[in-house]
Amino acid sequence: MKHRLKAILIAAGLLLCAPAFAQIKIGVVNLDRLIREAPAAISAQKRLQQEFQPREKELNGLSEKIRVAQENLAKNGLTMSESMRQTRERELVELNRDLQRRQQAFQEDLTQRRNEALSALIEQANRAVRQMAQAEKFDLIFQEAVYWSPSIDLTDRIMKALVDPPAK
C-alpha cells in the first residue's frame, strides 16, 4: 500500500511538472566539429602553418645535411685517416643532437601556439553560445552529448556567428 501511494504521488508530481518540461528550450553544439570546421579554426590553422613553416624548412634542411654527411662518411670513411673519420663522426653526433634539440623545441612551440589558438576559439565559441542562449531564450545548451536530434543542433549557427579574429 505504501509503495502504491508513493507511485501515485510521484506520478501526480510529474503530471504537474509536465507543462514546465514542455516549455524548456534545449540546444546542442558539437564542439569537436566546430573546432575542425569553423572558418576561424581553419584560418587559425593556416596562420600556424605560415608561422612555423620557415622553422620546419630549416629543420628539414638540417636533417638533409645530416643525411648527406652520413652517406659521405659511409662512402668515404674507409679511405679517410682515423683522426679525420673520428672528427666527422663527432660532427655528425653533434649535428644529430642539435637537430633533436631543435625538433623538440619546435614541437613544444607548435603545441603551445596550437593550444593558445584552440583556447581562444573555444572562448569565442562559448561567448557566441551564451549570446545566442540569451537572445533566443534557451534554457539549456549542451556541448557534449551522446546523441541529439538534428533539430536541436546549433553547431552550424554558432559557426556562422563566429567571426574570424584578425591575424596577429
Domain boundaries, the chain: 2-161
Is residue 24 very low, low, confident or very high in pLDDT (cuts 50, 70, 90)? confident
Are 29 and 140 contacting, i.e. CB atoms less than 8 angstroms apart?
no
Task: Give me the mean pLDDT over the 18-29 stretch.
Answer: 75
Which CATH superfamily groups domain 2-161? Skp domain (3.30.910.20)
Residue 34 CB-density burial (10 A; 0-12 exposed, 13-18 middle, 19+ buried): buried
The predicted pLDDT at position 153 comes to: 92
pTM of the model: 0.69
Residue-averaged pLDDT of the chain: 85
Which cell numbers hold the place of 129?
553560445
The predicted pLDDT at position 10 comes to: 59
Give CA–CA dist 66/55, Å, rounded: 17
Q: Report pLDDT digits (tens) over 111-144.
A: 999 999 999 999 999 999 999 999 999 999 998 8
Task: Give me the mean pLDDT over the 94-114 stretch.
Answer: 95
Classify strands 140-142 and 26-28 as parallel, antiparallel or unpaired. Answer: parallel
Give CA–CA dist 45/164, Å, rounded: 12
Least confident interval from 10-19, 50-59, 134-143: 10-19
Task: Give me the mean pLDDT over the 99-118 stretch.
Answer: 95
